[in-house]
Amino acid sequence: MTDVRSFSVGPIQENAYLVRAAGDSTSALLIDPGDEPQKLLDAASALGASIEAILLTHCHFDHIGAVAPIAEATGAPVYCPEIEKPVLTDVMRWVPPGFGPFESWDPEHTLKGGERLQLAGLDIEVLFTPGHSPGHLTYAISAPGGADATAEQPPALLSGDVLFKGSVGRVDLPGGDWATLERSIATLMERFPGQSVVFPGHMGITTLGAELQANPFLTELRQGAALAVPAERKTAP
Ligand SMILES: [Fe+2]
């Protein structure tokens, strides 16, 4: 069964994740290393795992601040949303005052969504889920052969700032758009079963089913009604 460990880093408490095919696997994926590179490197060492690849859901600074030092230290290739590569290669141009400094990185790979990757013994489906940011990706990660014979194990959804427990990603930053984000969330709901666990970029884990049932920002999805902007919206990161 896929082993997913969460580490909150930096002033905005972004969730970076180490994902392995099983609890004893010695290679890991690192998702969204936003800050505190040494903490994340130490966490991988404590698990006895080497970081095989670094995957980014999007390139807001709180998700990419530790990419360069960790890529340098490990040699792990970086997979970046294609549209957002110019942010990663010129990080400080996009960082608000009071944060950083962070190093830029030229990613080894770019992704558009629709790809299938095999890394660290894991199967990774890449989905295009824009709306919070223009190139945002969600990674649906599963361990091949790890599914229970009687009840198929849904993949772990590493979904960045698309969907939170009781909230959704903000859409007021450049490239954000509520109707687009809502469509992305709908795509995940249609594609994966309700028990799929969502590992978001901020706050605690949840499931697609729990959010479809109770998330106050998904009223239109629940009703299957025309897409519309909710009158009030929390500005979660
Ligand atoms: Fe973000």
C-alpha 75 – ligand 1 centre gap (Å): 25
| pLDDT given for residue 43 in this prediction | 98
For residues 141 and 152, is the Cβ–Cβ distance under 8 A? no
C-alpha 58 – ligand 1 centre gap (Å): 7
What are 139's two structure tokens? 């990674």
C-alpha 150 – ligand 1 centre gap (Å): 37
pLDDT tens for 164-205 read 999 999 999 989 999 999 999 999 999 999 999 999 999 999
Helix 37-46, helix 67-74: angle, nearest 10: 40
C-alpha 79 – ligand 1 centre gap (Å): 17
Tell me whether strands 197-200 and 116-119 are parallel, antiparallel or unpaired: unpaired
C-alpha 90 – ligand 1 centre gap (Å): 17
| Confidence grade of residue 237 (pLDDT, cut at 50, 70, 90) | low
C-alpha 115 – ligand 1 centre gap (Å): 22
Considering only CA atoms, which of 67, 71, 105 is closest in space to residue 86? 105
C-alpha 63 – ligand 1 centre gap (Å): 7
C-alpha 145 – ligand 1 centre gap (Å): 33
Q: What distance in Å separates the CA atoms of residue 41 and residue 56, rounded to the nearest whole number?
A: 17
pLDDT of 227 above 90: no
